[in-house]
Amino acid sequence: EDQVTQSPEALRLQEGESSSLNCSYTVSGLRGLFWYRQDPGKGPEFLFTLYSAGEEKEKERLKATLTKKESFLHITAPKPEDSATYLCAVRGNAGNNRKLIWGLGTSLAVNP
Amino acid sequence: GAVVSQHPSRVICKSGTSVKIECRSLDFQATTMFWYRQFPKQSLMLMATSNEGSKATYEQGVEKDKFLINHASLTLSTLTVTSAHPEDSSFYICSATRDRAKGYTFGSGTRLTVV
């Protein structure tokens, strides 16, 4: 069964304190791993899509990496405005391959 | 970039009434749209997948007669919560894609409160 597990559940950082969020997954035939950011009361905002092990993508202070079992979202020198819930999802090739399998998210708080 | 507009952002309705939520893709044609429900501090729960011009595919446990989905065009899908009850109060979010390989764009969500 396709599954996504995110850790930690919550993370509190000081401004400038770099860290990483983890997304472990099991899926039959990965067809994409997605990272989203969600602010309270808003819909998820797309960050990255990764397709194959070894792939990396960067955007400002964020960098996403992918292996065959997990993905990391590295946050370098975070700022308070990076505070949000970060969601990971995967799409496989089994069953209804149009839908995403979601993790529960990591709630990130960055203190000034 | 791809933009999805969702309305209303908030709605309060009386128990027993119906509420319609609209989801529009503004700058692209969405072959598939998705409707999610999200409870506080929980992740997204897929309710149904809809393709333009065909019946929606509902996830297990989602009542088809209660959550009516219409995807009449490539840019518009609607979710109607019929005979709403307080337990239907939740955050509903739509998502659309024109090319699954390029990702999914989400609307800003609708906070439904049934009193």
Calculate how close chain B gets to A77, using CA atoms only, in Å: 26
Q: How confident is the model at residue A49 (pLDDT cuts 50, 70, 90)?
A: very high
pLDDT tens, per residue, chain B with 115 residues: 788 999 999 999 999 999 999 999 998 888 889 999 998 878 899 999 988 888 899 999 999 999 999 988 889 999 999 999 999 999 999 999 877 656 789 999 999 999 9
Calculate the average pLDDT of chain A.
93
The 8-class DSSP code of residue A68 comes to: S
pLDDT of A98 higher than 70: no
Residue B45: both structure tokens together: 């729960």
Full DSSP string of B48-97: EEEETTSPPEEPTT--TTTEEEEEEETTEEEEEE-S--GGG-EEEEEEEE
The pLDDT value given to residue B42? 83
Calculate how close chain B gets to A102, using CA atoms only, in Å: 7
Q: Do B105 and A46 touch (CB under 8 A)?
A: yes
C-alpha to C-alpha distances, B27 to B2, B38, B51, B78, B97, nearest whole angstrom: 6, 26, 18, 18, 11
Which helix (H) or strand (E) segment holds residue A93: the answer is none
Q: Which residues of B touch A49 (CB under 8 A)?
A: 102-103
Q: Do B93 and A44 touch (CB under 8 A)?
A: yes
**Average pLDDT score over residue span A82-101:** 85
The pLDDT value given to residue B101? 59
Q: How confident is the model at residue A1 (pLDDT cuts 50, 70, 90)?
A: confident
The pLDDT value given to residue A57? 96
pLDDT of A92 higher than 90: no
**Lowest-pLDDT choice from A63-67, A72-76, A98-102, B31-35:** A98-102
**Average pLDDT score over residue span A63-87:** 97
